[in-house]
Amino acid sequence: MKQYHQGLDYRLYKIYVWGGVALIVVQIFVSALVFDALSMPGPQAFLVIAGPMLLWFAGILLYWWWVFLFKGNRELEALSQAQGQGVPGIKALRSWNTLHQAMAIHGGNVEELIKNAKRAQRPVLLWYGSLNLLAVWIICPIILGSLEIIQMFGVGIWLAGVFIWIALMLVGTPALLSWGSKRAEKAYLAPLGLALTRTPRLEADVIGLIGGGQKLIPDGPAIVEGERYGRLVHIETIGKHSLTVLQANVPEFKVQSDDGKLVPDKEAPEAVARALKSLRKAKRWRGIVVHAGPEGIGIQRQSKGTNMWLYDLWLAEYLLDKADGLSRRRRPFPP
């Protein structure tokens, strides 16, 4: 959700990183060859040569602490003031995250979006804090100004600490990532005004077992339902297939994807045709078919990808918003 890799601060950060690398190379060359730093006593030589590199590295660590603790929170505060009107524009299609954020602001629940972002940030802070502790353990003797500190505690203990910490990081990183992803999965629907109403069970695939293929298959689709802009929303997903339906009273028309280019049929209203012309050909539109009529607008999809139904939900709302005379009158779904 948060745009960590955008903004003036990130551009300055990249300049700092790559400019710092160049300056460190020059500094090491000058210290070693011009000022003969290698002839100094061991700890002093190391500090003169490696000191600027340690400060440069500390600057990188501090920047990301600022990003996680302050930049992200500042963006969340801005979101809390956001009041979306109408369907998000085409620019929101830049990525799945930007679309999810925009659709939470427009027609969704911003408070749930903020709550979700804070929950997802906790595993990241734990992981990054652990990485910082490892860095401090490795370079602490150097920061204190003497490599003799390592000898005082024992090189074996110092190295053991390094390897144990690295092992814990390797084991803990997948666990933290899994924790964060599970938190996000449970909460990413609520900001959209949706909820999971059916979770499929996995059953043994007898034919697959005989053929040595897939062992478990879902007993049906996952179903997501809710309300957006006063319309009921019904979404079904199973494997690479999905169906997204919105209630509406619209003229009958059909839209098909021609290798990612959305093409309306002759029955489509002129407003629908105009709206589709503004959507350029893209992979996200491959494998979809749009059906519209008096009972609503539905989009069938057969394509790979995770949660691609979000694009279909946006497309349905976009067509309903752009097309003239399309009603938002509430109607129950047909049985």
**How does pLDDT run across 153-180, given as a tens digit for each residue?**
566 676 777 788 888 877 777 777 666 6
Query: Looking at the 3D structure of the chain, how many domains does it have?
Result: 2
Range 106-125 average pLDDT: 76
Higher pLDDT, 271 or 207: 271
174 and 40, same domain (yes or no): yes
- CA-to-CA distance for 15 and 141, rounded, in angstroms? 29
Question: pLDDT of 49-90, one tens digit each?
Answer: 777 888 888 899 899 888 877 776 666 566 556 556 678 888
Confidence of residue 299 (pLDDT cuts 50, 70, 90): very high
What's the Rg (C-alpha) of the chain? 28
Chain-centroid distance, C-alpha 16: 26
307 and 275, same domain (yes or no): yes
Whose tokens are 């003799």? That residue is 148
What confidence score (pLDDT) does residue 316 get? 95
What confidence score (pLDDT) does residue 48 get? 72
Q: How far is CA 320 from CA 183, 269, 279, 301, in A?
A: 32, 11, 15, 19
Entry pTM? 0.61
Q: What are phi and psi of 293, to 5 degrees?
A: -175, -170
Question: CB under 8 Å to 135, separation ≥6 — which residues?
Answer: 57, 61
32 and 148, same domain (yes or no): yes
Q: Quick check: is 110 in a domain?
A: yes
Domain boundary among 174, 191, 208: 191
What confidence score (pLDDT) does residue 144 get? 53
Q: Quick check: is 334 in a domain?
A: no
What confidence score (pLDDT) does residue 216 get? 64
Domain boundary among 140, 171, 191: 191
Percent of the chain with pLDDT over 90: 25
Question: pLDDT of 244-267, one tens digit each?
Answer: 999 998 899 999 999 999 999 998
What confidence score (pLDDT) does residue 166 get? 83
Q: Quick check: is 275 in a domain?
A: yes
236 and 303, same domain (yes or no): yes
- Domain extent at residue 76: 8-191
Range 126-131 average pLDDT: 83
Strand boundaries in 273-333, DSSP class E: 288-293, 296-302
